Amino acid sequence: MDMLGGGLAAIGNTPLVRLGRLVPDGAAEVWVKLEGGNPTGSYKDRMAVSVLMSALERGDISAGDTIVEFTGGSTGTALAFVSGVLGMKFTAVFSDAFSHSKQQAMEAFGATVLIEKSVDGAITHELAERMKQRSLAIADQPGHYYADQFGSPDVRAGYHPMGREIAAALEGGLDVFCAAVGTGAAMMGTLDGLHESGLAPDAIALEPAESPLLTTGVSGGHKVEGIAVFPDPPFLDRSVIREVRTVAQDRAFEMCRRLAREEGIFGGGSTGLNVAAAIDIAVELGAGHRVVTLGCDNGAKYIGGHIYSPTA
Ligand SMILES: Cc1ncc(COP(=O)(O)O)c(C=O)c1O
């Protein structure tokens, strides 16, 4: 994938930063891979370029086609961006359960956005199923291609470089890698890249306590965008995961606000959840160890929403 044009060349090679003030004395080091610096502000750019370039190389799509996906916004924005640069159109099936600014971001990159109504703004499994069925029906038309963020192996492969970049940045390796799970692709793909680099940290998957699908199979409404939607995340391989932990969503949102104010790290709810868990793990491990987690996206998309304006 060399010779990528336009903004495609700016995907990846993001900074890995060590937390300072938020980590208590005597705890392990906590490092965060800051993915908000990708062109659309999230790690989803990595999977979008992998999926569409691989489909192009196979001859499954060509310029002028329409890419279709159901999305909470981050994947949709990334697919809209990459589709546009490759001369394709993009249609997103979206919902009012997600930030309106994510809809606007998709539209800024040229997407057509269709809205599937939620019940009281809650992200639920039932809503995701309705969105999926609608996007499959659209993708059935000639000249349309379903990106398949929950099934395509190119999605997981798109995150291999993220693992390799972490390995290259950390001399001496890491003890634990933890990440919240939506499809599980970012977590598993990063682990693949770490493994390719000869590193084998303990892997801990994370989910919001309000929708403990992975630990109990019970789905609940929650407000951490991008994660905890499917009972059986398609890319999550439990055989390589040491454990799954739950984090209360209010802790995740509080961590977002503290990250912005005390560390200068501006992220969304999944980043707050990842860091809250990473600090817990660092306290348990103690000094002399290292925990790495993901700063999934940039917080700008969440301004005016419940995370940064909790009383609005
Ligand atoms: C903001 C955000 N964080 C985390 C995730 C989870 O990533 P993955 O689907 O690779 O598990 C997503 C996925 O949509 C997301 O949009």
Residue 194 and residue 191: Cα distance in Å, rounded? 5
Q: Which helix (H) or strand (E) holds 291?
A: strand 290-295
Q: Across the strands, what pairs with 34?
A: 295
pTM of the entire predicted model: 0.94
Q: 141: which residues sit within 8 A by CB, 6+ positions away? A: none
Residue 134's H or E segment, with its range, is: helix 125-139
Domains of the chain: 6-38+156-302 (3.40.50.1100), 44-153 (3.40.50.1100)
Q: Tokens 């055989």 correspond to what residue?
A: 239
Ligand 1 closest atom vs CA 235: 11
CB burial of 93-132 (b: ≥16 within 10 Å; e: otherwise) equals bbbebbbebbbebbeebebebbebebeeebbbeebbebbb
Which residue is closest in CA terms to ligand 1's atom 1? 226
Using CA atoms, how far residue 151 sits from 140, 154, 212, 308, in Å, is 16, 9, 22, 33
Q: How far apart are CA 29 and CA 178, in angstroms?
A: 13
Nearest one of 286, 256, 292 to 273, comparing CA atoms: 256
Amino acid at 245: R
Instruction: Tell me which residue has its CA closest to atom 6 in ligand 1.
Output: 182
How many whole angstroms from 44 Cα to the centroid of ligand 1? 7
Whether the CB-CB separation of 139 and 146 falls below 8 Å is answered with: yes
Which residues make beta-bridge pairs with 222?
123
Closest atom of ligand 1 to 183 CA is 9
Ligand 1 cavity residues, CB under 6 Å: 42, 72, 74-75, 180-187, 225-227, 268, 270, 296-297
CA 182 to ligand 1 center in whole angstroms: 5
Q: Order of strands, edge to edge, in the sheet holding 202-208?
A: 16-18, 29-34, 290-295, 176-180, 202-208, 243-247
* Span from the CA of 187 to the centroid of ligand 1 (angstroms): 9
Distance 181 CA to ligand 1 centre (A): 7
Question: Ligand 1 centre and the CA of 296: distance in Å?
Answer: 7
**CA torsion, ordered 281, 283, 288, 293, to nearest 10 deg:** 30
**pLDDT digit string (tens) for 244-291?**
999 999 999 999 999 999 999 999 999 999 999 999 999 999 999 999
Task: Retrieve residue 123's tokens.
Answer: 């992200």
**pLDDT for 178:** 98
* 241 CA to centre of ligand 1 in angstroms: 17
Rg (CA), the chain: 18
Alpha carbon distance 263, 194 (integer Å) = 26
Distance 142 CA to ligand 1 centre (A): 29
pLDDT at residue 312, rounded to an integer: 60
The whole-number pLDDT of residue 129 equals 92
Residue ID of nearest Cα to ligand 1 atom 15: 226
Residue of the nearest CA to atom 5 in ligand 1?
A: 226
- 3-class SS of residue 211: coil
Residue 153: partners with Cβ closer than 8 Å, 6 or more residues away: none
pLDDT at 231: 83
The list of the chain residues with pLDDT below 50 reads 1-2
